[in-house]
Structure 1
Amino acid sequence: MSSVLNKLNNAAERESSESQALIAVKKLEEAALELVASYVDCTCYAEAIREVPRAYQPSNQSTDFEKLIEAEVNKVKADSSTSVENHPLIRQFREAVWNVHHAGQPMPGDEQEDILMTSTQTSILNVTCPLTGKPVIELTEPVRCVDCKHIYEKVPIMHYIKHQRPPKCPIAGCPRVLQVGRVICDALLQVEIEELRSSGPSAPNAENIEDLADDEDDEDE
């Protein structure tokens, strides 16, 4: 009888411990979501501030820069497809938690994630630099055009912009003309490249990229 009671007590203690661990993990995830949300907001504000000089129109009346920045922030957020729940950093957090007890096993929903990564929602539009031919995951200083979202190695693309007239995006079919101040390493680029690097087989392939480029050209037309 005492043996049965001991087993029941041990089982109850384990269940209580697991319950406490789940609560702790949930709190950590909530904190991570809050942190990433702040990070995304900061990114939007940074991009909005870079846009202010273009949006500013001199006039005889004083400019309300607070409203101007707010308007640009709203534009950036409207154009952004970033979701905090699906952010690469949150995925990495959940993978780390999952791997504690399920190392080597795919996370639930990974099949759907693979489909998502190869859909038009991916932020990586080209998997190689058009000037060097190097995969974007191997670039030393990756930069991205704010306008067309294509990615390049920094030194070659800056040299290209300086000497090419007009400096049209070197991605075949892209009509954008590049400007030095609008080809940057934005706040999410390194995160997205790292996600692409770690995604392995789920990374966008050349066929997906061509489809994305075609869609982009159709939108421009």
Structure 2
Amino acid sequence: MSMATKLVNTAEVASSDAQTLVADMRKAISTMKSLAVDFERDGKSDKVKKLEEMVLEMVASYEDCAAMAQAIKAVPGVYQPSDQPTDFKTLIEVEVSKIKGASSASQQNHPLFRQFRETVWNVHHAGQPMPGEEQEDIVMTSTQMSILNVTCPLTGKPVIELIDPVRCVDCKHIYEKDPVMQYIRTKKPPQCPIAGCPRVLERGKVICDPLLRIEIEELRSSETGAPNATNIDDLTDLIDDDDE
């Protein structure tokens, strides 16, 4: 196995581990959002405020971890063989800086934080613009931006009803697994079935990534109004401890 192949494989494993942590953070933010809705309904504004502060901190960590996952995956592409030992730590730090530098959004305007604030606001002000926003402003939530197609182009089923959802690494479109794998085997070339998408699907690049099921669950909850939180009792205890 060549050095380049080993590096790619190692980067894939390390990046996957980081992405799993990102997914766990996303779940935690979703839990906080559901809990904040309950507190807002009960008029416990002080607890909502504490949750908002916690979410803001979590978003910062989320961004750091997401940038790290992306940077690790990029390292094989920038690695240059040399007689001298390679400083991979510096390579990763440089890539992280590039990724963060390309993102100009502040934490206050981060889609996940905006989604949290909008959800809480809608408890008592559904249909009304948030303070500082015009009625005609269209705010894309993080879930809406992440889920590019709300139905599988091969089965016509809504993504929230897919049994085994997968997403293309390249174009980010979502499909039911068995039909899309059959499509890849039989269609030559297997161009993405979403109208206008030029990407050609590859078996190894159509996967259930760590965030996919979380994002689908968030979309399902936003459409049904049902909470998708878990471990709410633990968070409630944490907030109550802060009050003491």
Aligned with residue 143 of structure 1, among 166, 176, 187: 166
Mark the structure with the bigger radius of gyration: 1
* Among candidates 38, 41, 56, match of residue 33 of structure 1: 56
| Sequence identity (%) | 61
Root mean square deviation, CA, Å: 3.8
- Name 1:131's counterpart in structure 2: 154
1:87 paired with 2:107, answer: no
2:189 and 2:102 mapped to 1: Cα distance? 27
- Count the aligned residue pairs: 175
CA contact 2:56–2:113 (8 Å) conserved in 1: no
Contact 1:48–1:69, Cα closer than 8 Å, also in 2: yes
Does 1:193 find its partner at 2:235? no
Specify every segment of 5 or more residues in structure 2 that has no aligned partner in the other structure, as ranges.
1-43, 225-244
Q: Which stretches in structure 1 are left out of the alignment for 5+ residues? A: 1-20, 202-221
TM superposition shift of 1:136: 1.6
Report 1:166-181 matches (<5 A).
166-181=189-204
Q: Which amino acid aligns with 1:106?
A: A
Rounded Cα–Cα distance in structure 1 between residues aligned with 2:105 and 2:140: 13
Alpha-carbon separation, structure 1, partners of 2:136 and 2:146: 14
Deviations 1:173-220 (A, max 9, x none): 21112334433334443444344334449xxxxxxxxxxxxxxxxxxx
Q: Pick closer, same or farther for the CA change 1:182–1:50 going to 2, 3 Å.
A: farther
Partner of 1:153: 176
In structure 2, distance between residues paired with 1:79 and 1:181: 28
Query: In 2 relative to 1, CA 37–187 (structure 1 residues): closer, same or farther, beyond 3 Å?
Result: farther
Amino acid at match of 1:25: V
Contact 1:84 1:90 in 2 (8 A): no
- Indicate the residue corresponding to 2:129 in structure 1: 109
**What is the aligned counterpart of 1:183 among 199, 203, 206?**
206
Preserved contact between residue 168 and residue 174 of structure 2 (Cα < 8 Å): yes
TM-score between both structures, scaled by the size of structure 1: 0.58
Deviations 1:95-131 (A, max 9, x none): 35863xx3xx41652675972239xx83332221122
- Work out which structure has the larger RCO, using CA pairs closer than 8 Å and 6 or more positions apart in sequence: 2
Task: Report deviation, 1:34.
Answer: 0.8
TM-score using structure 2 length = 0.53
Q: Retained in 2: the 8 A contact 1:116–1:122?
A: no
